[in-house]
Amino acid sequence: MSRWKWNAALAMTVIAGLTVLTACGGKAQTTGTQGGKKIDFPTKPISLIVPFAAGGGTDTTARALAKSAEKILKQPITVVNKTGGGGSVGMTEGSNAKNDGYTVTVITVELTTLSHLGLSPITYQNFKPIAMMNYEPAAITVRSDSQWKTMKEFLDYAKANPGQLKLGNSGTGAIWHLAAAALEKGTGTKYNHIPFEGAAPAISALLGGHVDAVPVSPPEVKSQVESGKLRALAVLDDKPAEVLAGVKTLKEETGIEFSYIGTWRGLGVPKDTPDEIVQLLSDAFMKGMEDAEFKEFMKKNELTIVAKDSKSFGQYLKENHDKFGKLIPELGLSKK
């Protein structure tokens, strides 16, 4: 080949490459294989359904992760809030979306409780898990002027006075009610459960002296603990919470260990989504959780990153589903 022809061929190759980049908006795509064939994904924007209201913790966390994941996926991720039914409306819509990977849904702990409560037919089996992004345990918290200085003192009083201690929770059948019920089972105690419309009203009731304690997440009580208004006695988890410095776990305080319950957030896609797309999305969102901007957001909002990939998150979902499948009927809350 003459030098002139070789240069011409090279120029045509470059032009062809530029044409492909232009067609793709100048953005590289994530690639994988499906049925032995190479796939390009995504080639258009992705919708992220958030089953709770804009501005709440689940919404802001999802938006922060979406922003970081966009850097990897090279496509916009548009958040769509679909509220109602304790999260069931949005999660149901997400599970019924087209199974092409372009609709991702934020799934929360309610996915593993609502069906057992008889409030929704949807379960974790309606989704293929993408990744888990966040987990917060319960922290047993009392007023700073209460008679209980340690978790042992609190449990001893509860055993001596069954049903007398009033524990405020975030609603009957809601996660902090279930966490308190797990505490009962694990420690042989009994409480008078007082429901409120969320954790914030329960904390207000504690501050006002209307309940004796609350089992809510460490971030929800941190400011009041630091100001000296409240005292966290123990964290119901296998490790301490970073946001409550110096507060030990229940096991460290008392030697008691059981199957703890906390709140979590993750991502899923419809159950028939091809595994190759699930893996591409899982890889992208897992990398998004390593992004400095996302880590800074979580630190600023005192939220804990707990990253699980598709496989480990799937196992975790089944464990949660089975756990609540036993606990909720024992509480007489099942309406099946």
What are 165-197's pLDDT values in tens digits? 999 999 999 999 999 999 999 999 999 999 998
| Domain segments of the chain as ranges | 39-135+263-330, 138-254
Annotation: CATH topology of 39-135+263-330: D-Maltodextrin-Binding Protein; domain 2 (3.40.190)
Is it true that 39-135+263-330 and 138-254 share their CATH fold? yes
Domain 138-254 in this protein, CATH class: alpha beta
What are 36-94's pLDDT values in tens digits? 557 789 999 999 999 999 998 999 999 999 999 999 999 999 999 999 998 999 999 99
Write down the pTM of the prediction.
Answer: 0.85
In terms of pLDDT, which residue wins out, 30 or 235?
Answer: 235
3-state secondary structure the chain: CCHHHHHHHHHHHHHHHHHHHHHCCCCCCEEEEECCEEEEECCCCEEEEECCCCCCHHHHHHHHHHHHHHHHHCCCEEEEECCCHHHHHHHHHHHCCCCCCCEEEEEEHHHHCCCCCCCCCCCHHHEEEEEEEEEECEEEEEECCCCCCCHHHHHHHHHHCCCCCEEEECCCCCHHHHHHHHHHHHHCCCCEEEECCCHHHHHHHHHCCCCCEEEECHHHHHHHHHCCCEEEEEEECCCCCCCCCCCCEHHHHHCCCCCCCCEEEEEEEECCCCHHHHHHHHHHHHHHCCCHHHHHHHHHCCCCEEEECHHHHHHHHHHHHHHHHHHHHHCCCCCC
Angle between helices 199-207 and 218-226 in degrees, nearest 10: 30
Across residues 279-285, what is the average pLDDT?
98
Burial class (CB in 10 A: 0-12, 13-18, 19+), 179: buried
Range scoring the smallest mean pLDDT among 4-18, 140-154, 157-171: 4-18
Across residues 117-129, what is the average pLDDT?
96
Mean pLDDT score across all residues of the chain: 90
Instruction: Give every strand in the sheet of 127-136, ordered side by side.
Output: 77-81, 46-50, 103-108, 263-270, 127-136, 305-308
